[in-house]
Amino acid sequence: MPLSDHEQRLLEQMERALYAEDPKFASALEGTGLRTRTRRAVYVSAAGFVVGVGLLMGGLFLHQQWVSVGGFVLMLAGAVFGITAWRRIPRLALVDSRTGAPVVRRRKRGGGLVDRMEQRWQHRQEQQRGGF
């Protein structure tokens, strides 16, 4: 539910008062958003993936299968963790920063693959009915 104009003004006044009173604390609160945590998770997973590749290669050169298997598992875990964190980013961007209300994106009509296939199917069915 979006905030009213009065509530929005009160919130902005409270934010300004917080910045005026303790700017260090206010800036610390800004960086704890979901987007920051998600970005950090993507960076950590990328680092895990790179370390996993290094362990995989190191295990191959040293002829230690357990090191290679551990590197592969770390690489796989980093990739899965990174992909899931990356997929969360667009959903976070769909929130209006002023009101906090979700922004609804509308799909283009008839632009999807499934819609086009359905239209072709219906067209073929109509052609077959008209031919008999």
Across 27-31, 84-88, 100-104, 127-131, least confident range: 100-104
For 40-53, write each residue's pLDDT tens digit. Answer: 888 899 999 999 99
d(C-alpha 95, C-alpha 8), whole Å? 16
Between CA 95 and CA 105 the distance in angstroms is 11
Claim: this prediction has a pTM higher than 0.85:
no
Res 1 pLDDT > 90: no
**Rg of the chain on CA atoms, in Å:** 26
Q: What is the pLDDT of residue 30?
A: 64
Q: How far apart are CA 99 and CA 2, in angstroms?
A: 5
Q: In this structure, what token pair is assigned to residue 36?
A: 């920051």
- Asked if pLDDT for residue 58 goes beyond 70, the answer is yes
Average pLDDT for 85-114 = 60
Question: What Å distances lie between residue 110 and 20, 30, 100, 116, 124, CA to CA?
Answer: 52, 41, 31, 6, 17
